[in-house]
Chains A and B, each alone.
Chain A
């Protein structure tokens, strides 16, 4: 069975700092990879996804992620965070007809 590991449980940054959230998965076959964001009191929203092609994918709100197949990683990055990026971030892997496995999530707190 596949699993997803997010290394950082809680990250605290000041505005304008750079962000990198780690995500590793375990699965030997082809995967589709996702990052979701959940703002306080709101539902999950898709930030970005990787299916194939360029391993560096760009998403909404200035986020990007890089798929490194050899490391089974799909880390999320943003060069300069804003206070409004405070949220919960989830990495997820699809392997079978849309069925997703989620990581435990990372809480990002951005201090103004």
Chain B
């Protein structure tokens, strides 16, 4: 399957700081990427759809000013958690969508811990 990378894999930050997570599609150009959040022992919750060259589409209840998404190129989407708080601690996963097969390829995730 296609390879999607995320960086960093793990980050610890202080409350009030901002953290940027990168998601790269290494095998194909992805016009659409998705960002998920996964709590322990729970399913993936879709946060937003990231579209290259346009604004991201956020799911209901997700604060767009807190979770800034930038899809600057066909292979890179970034998620910035602004003014992070302990409740933002979670596992963030991105995926790159390949329209030809209607399949998402997932990154390995980023573990964010806010102290």
Contacts and interface: CB of A to CB of B under 8 A. Distances in A.
Most buried by A among B46, B97, B104: B104
Size bracket of the B interface: 20 to 34
Nearest to A98: B97
Contacts, number: 48
A67 interface: no
Contact of B106 (A44, A98, A99): A44
Contact of A51 (B1, B49, B102, B104): B102
Interface in A47-104: 49, 51, 90, 94, 97-104
A-B pairs with lowest CB-CB distance, top 9: A98-B97, A43-B108, A44-B106, A104-B43, A102-B43, A102-B44, A105-B43, A43-B106, A32-B102
A98 B34 contact: yes
A40 B77 CA distance: 26
Interface of B: 1, 32, 34, 41-44, 46, 49, 93, 97, 99, 102-109
Contact of A103 (B43, B97, B106): B43
A46 interface: yes
A13 to B, nearest CB: 19
Contacts of A90: 43-44
A110 B106 CA distance: 25
Contact of B46 (A43, A45, A49, A99): A99
A32 B97 CA distance: 14
B108 A42 contact: yes
Given A44-B93, A104-B42, A105-B42, A98 B104 contact: yes
